[in-house]
Amino acid sequence: MEENKKKVLSCIQPSGMLTLGNYIGALKNWVAMQSEFDCTYAVADLHAITVRQEPAKFRQQIYSTAALLLALGIDPEKNTMFIQSHVSSHSELAWILSCYTQFGELSRMTQFKDKSAKHADNVNVGLFSYPVLMAADILLYQSDLVPVGADQKQHLEIARDIATRFNHIYGDVFTIPEPYIPKIGARVMSLQDPTKKMSKSDENINSWVAILDSKDDIIRKFKRAVTDSDNRICVGEDKPGVSNLIGIYSAVTGKSAEVITAEFEGKGYGDFKIAVGEAVAEELKPIQERYQTFISDKKQLEDIYRQGDEKAFYAARKTLSKVKKKVGFVL
Ligand code: TRP
């Protein structure tokens, strides 16, 4: 860990299969950021229980998410990868910060409003204070940068507000985190309704690709992707389906939209969709192979995240002690 590198933090919920959208929109970037920044990445299991989880399945998803992060190329030696619930400082700081967060500001969070409408039978307090826990995740590591998608931007803003408020009362305790807008990584849309974001909770399984899908499944899903009727392979506001496929192809091949349009000049959607499917399958193949090696050796996987837990705990404890001292607790 070099002192002069900026600190990056991000977390991912282990709440199900990770999709091509998670990969292109976030995780591919997590891997890329490692060369430039001092990165801390966590499996956010505490956040995941704000919606009901089935214990045995949940446990497997936590293992699976950790294995997948390693398979993607997160280097646990150079960076820190850990499991959120293993570092108790997150829950502790979240409680303290909740006393510096107003009921009104949490009530305004759009994700809370959306999720409480979706899970009307379980509008629990955790769902409400979710952004405070997220603020704790970020502030514990004195993070400079947080890569966030549009849906988490409001949560980062509240983390900044809480940190600024706390610093105003007690002096410089927390680094104020900035959003990091990734260089790569378009927003990946549903293959069946390209006006909606790709989501694993979509009932139509043809609308999304899982990182661990087989090559056959991937190609089948791309073959069925919704396009339009003018058969021109180019980006356009009136062509959300084709634009989405170009975005995906661009993200996995590194080619620009112009180069892609030229490459498929005179070809039809059928050829293009197969080419996108094959490029995606090819990009995911080595990840899937590495995933198998990590998930089939639980002992090794456990050794890796335990080391990460310790590194994270060490850094988190420093901030938490400072906070406790400032608040006036007896240490
Ligand atoms: N809430 C984020 C999501 O669902 C996950 C998350 C938890 C997170 N803690 C975080 C993201 C801290 C960035 C920073 O995507």
Question: Residues 202-244: pLDDT tens digits?
Answer: 999 999 999 999 999 999 999 999 999 989 999 999 999 999 9
b/e per residue 312-324 (b: at least 16 CB within 10 A): bbebbeebbebbe
**166 and 115 both lie in a single domain:** yes
Residue percentage of the chain with pLDDT more than 90: 92
Asked if residue 207 lies in contact with residue 198, where contact means CB atoms within 8 angstroms, the answer is: yes
Report the distance separating Cα 74 and Cα 294, nearest Å.
12
What residues are labeled active site?
A: 115, 197, 200
Confidence of residue 150 (pLDDT cuts 50, 70, 90): confident
Residue whose CA is closest, atom 9 of ligand 1?
134
pLDDT tens string 43-68? 999 999 999 999 999 999 999 999 99
Ligand 1 centroid to 10 CA: how many Å? 6
Mean pLDDT, residues 26-32: 93
How close is the Cα of 11 to the center of ligand 1, in Å?
Answer: 5
CA gap 189, 283 in Å, rounded = 18
Report pLDDT for 3: 65
Find out whether 218 and 248 touch, Cβ atoms under 8 Å: no
Task: Name the residue range of residue 151's domain.
Answer: 7-185+298-327
Report pLDDT digits (tens) over 267-300: 999 999 999 999 999 999 999 999 999 999 999 9
Counting from 1 in the atom list of ligand 1, the atom nearest the Cα of 151 is 15
* Ligand 1 atom at minimum distance from 130 CA: 1
Q: For ligand 1, what atom is nearest to the CA of residue 143? A: 14
For residue 266, is it left (φ>0), alpha (ψ between -120 and 50) or beta?
left
Judge if 125 and 19 occupy the same domain. Answer: yes
Q: Burial level of 139, CB count in 10 A (0-12/13-18/19+)?
A: buried
* 252-263 mean pLDDT: 95
Q: Check whether 185 has a pLDDT greater than 80.
A: no
Kindly state whether residues 149 and 96 are assigned to the same domain: yes
Q: Note the pLDDT of residue 77.
A: 94
For atom 6 of ligand 1, the residue with the nearest CA is 11
Query: Which domain CATH number covers 316?
Result: 3.40.50.620
CA of residue 31 to ligand 1 center, whole Å: 16
Cα Rg of the chain (Å, integer) = 21
In sequence order, the 6+-apart residues with CB closer than 8 A to the CB of 29 are 147, 182, 183, 184, 185
CA of 107 to the centre of ligand 1 (A): 18
Predicted confidence band at 183 (pLDDT cuts at 50, 70, 90)? low
pLDDT attached to residue 16: 83
Our measurement of the distance from residue 18's CA atom to the centroid of its chain's CA atoms, rounded to an integer in Å, reads 9
Say yes or no: 102 and 49 in one domain. Answer: yes
Distance CA 326, CA 166 (A): 10
In a domain, 106, yes or no: yes
Supply the pLDDT for residue 149: 84
CB 22 near ligand 1, within 6 Å: no
Q: How confident is the model at residue 184 (pLDDT cuts 50, 70, 90)?
A: low
Check whether residue 287 and residue 312 sit in a common domain.
no
CA distance linking residue 37 with residue 150, whole number of Å: 22
Strands 178-180 and 80-83: unpaired
- Nearest protein CA to atom 13 of ligand 1, as residue: 10
Give the chain's domain count: 2
Please check whether residue 1 lies inside any domain of the structure: no
